[in-house]
Amino acid sequence: MPNSPDHVQDHVRVAVIGGGPAGLMAAEALARGGVRADVYDAMPSVGRKFLMAGKGGMNITHSEPIEPFLDRYGKRRADIAPLLDAFGPHALRAWLDELGVETFVGSSGRVFPVDMKAAPMLRAWLHRLRESGVRFHMRHKWTGWSSSSDDAHSLRFATPAGELNIAADAVVLALGGGSWARLGSDAAWVALMKERDVPVAPLLPANCGFDADWSDYFRERYAGQPVKPVSISVDGVDGVVQHRQGEFVVTSTGIEGSLVYALSSTIRDRLLAEGDATIRLDLAPGLTAQRVIDEVTRPRGSRSMSSHLHSRIGIAGVKLGLLHECLSKEDFADAAKLAHAIKSLPLRLAAPRPIDEAISSAGGVPFEALDRALMVKQLPGMFCAGEMLDWEAPTGGYLLTACFASGLVAGRGALEYVEASKR
C-alpha cells in the first residue's frame, strides 16, 4: 500500500468495504470464482464485532427447522428466504466443518463451535482467504466517492498515509449497522448513500434493553439481578399479542436480557407509535391463574403477605420487589388484585436504550432498492450485504446466519457482474 497522500491505487477488481462476516464471505465468494478481492476496513483488524459477540460463547446459527427459522425475520421473511436458500444454517455448518471448525447443538437448539470461541474460527478463515489471494487494507475508512468522478466504482478512503482513491470493477458494501460504533459500525455510510439518493430506512436499536422509571430504592436494591422464570406479553402495533417465556435482568435504567431482546422489535415499535409501552409480566409462569388465586387468597394467619407469597408460590426477592414497585400499597394488600398482578403485572417502559448499546440495529438499505443479487438498482456494480440492509432478527444465531448468507449472495452477484462486463 502506498504511503503518499492523494495516491490513486492501481485498478482493483472488486473492493469489499467492511471486514465483518458479510464482507469476508463476499470476499470468499469472489476468490472462489477466480476474481481478486481487496477488503478495506476502518479498524486495525477485521471481525472486531464478531469477536466481541463471541466472548460469551460463539452462537453461530440455530438448529430449528427452516420454516420457524425464517419466521424469526418478521416482516422481512420473504426477503431473507432467498438468501438462506443460497446459504442456510445447514450449509453454514458444512462450511464451518470444511474450515476445520467442529460444531455442536446446545440444549436450546443453538449451534456453537466445540471450543465455544470465535477467535480460532476467524484465524482459520483469514488464513484461507489470504491463501486464496484476498488482500486486506486496514485503517482504511471509506469516505465516499472520488470527487472527480460520478462513477460509483471510484472510491475515496481516509488512511494513515492520507487520502487514497481507487477504481474498481465492482464494489461490495458490508459496513454494518449502527450499534457498537467503537468496533467499526458507526453508520457513517448512511449519509454517503443518501448523497447518491439511495434510500435508507432510519437505523433503530434492535436486540436492546429498555428504560423503566425505577424508584431509587428498587434501583439500588435490585439492579443486576435476574428475573426468572418469567414471561412477557406485549401488544404489537398490528394488534397481535406477542408472548415469550424466559428470563431478563433488571438494570439501573430498566430491563435487558434474552427475553427482552426476543420482544424488542415489538416493544420498540409500540414505543415509536404510542410514545410509551406497557408490557405485562407473568411472575409465576408455571402456575395457572386459578392456582395463584387459590394460594394467594388462602388464609395466612399472622404471616405477612410477603412471607405468604414466598411460602405458597415462591415469590420472593426481585419478583417481590417488582410487585411492590408496580403496585400501590392498597393493591398489594388486596389478595385478589395481587393474585391477578402476579400473573399480569403491568410494567411501563419509556424508551429503548441508545442504539450504540444495542446488540444490533434495524433499518438500512431496503431490499426494494436492490435486485436479487443485492445490487443497488441505481448504482450498477455496487452491492450491499449484512446488517446495513433493512432487516432484523433476534439473537440465537439468526443475525449471523443472515449476515453470512447475504455476504455470499452479494459476492456472487459482484462476481457475475464482473464476468458479464468482460463479454
The pLDDT confidence band at residue 53, using thresholds 50, 70 and 90, is: confident
The CA distance from 112 to 63, in Å, is 10
pLDDT for the residue 149: 57
**Would you tell me which CATH number, out of the four given (3.30.470.10, 3.50.50.60, 3.40.50.720, 3.40.50.2300), belongs to the domain 7-205+360-422?**
3.50.50.60
pLDDT tens, residue by residue, 359-413? 999 999 999 999 999 999 999 999 999 999 999 999 999 999 999 999 999 999 9
- Averaged pLDDT of the chain: 94
pLDDT one-digit tens code per residue, 286-342: 999 999 999 999 998 889 999 999 999 999 999 999 999 999 999 999 999 999 999
> Which residue is associated with the grid cell 503518499?
4
Q: How confident is the model at residue 421 (pLDDT cuts 50, 70, 90)?
A: confident
Q: Which segments of 120-161 are extended strands (E)?
A: 135-137, 141-145, 154-159
Q: What is the pLDDT of residues 192-222, one digit of tens each?
A: 999 999 999 999 999 999 999 999 999 999 9
**Ordered DSSP codes for 159-225:** ETTEEEEEEEEEEEE----SS-GGGT---THHHHHHHTT---EEEEEES--EE----HHHHHHHTT-
Q: With cut-offs at 50, 70 and 90, classify the pLDDT of residue 344.
A: very high
Exposure string (b/e) for 177-209, b if CB count within 10 Å is 16 or more?
bbbbeebbbbbbbbebbeeeebebbebbbbbbb
Give 54's pLDDT tier (boundaries 50, 70, 90): confident
Residue ranges of the chain that CATH labels 3.50.50.60: 7-205+360-422
pLDDT tens readout for residues 137-191:
999 999 999 865 567 789 999 999 999 999 999 999 999 999 988 999 999 999 9
pLDDT at 148: 58
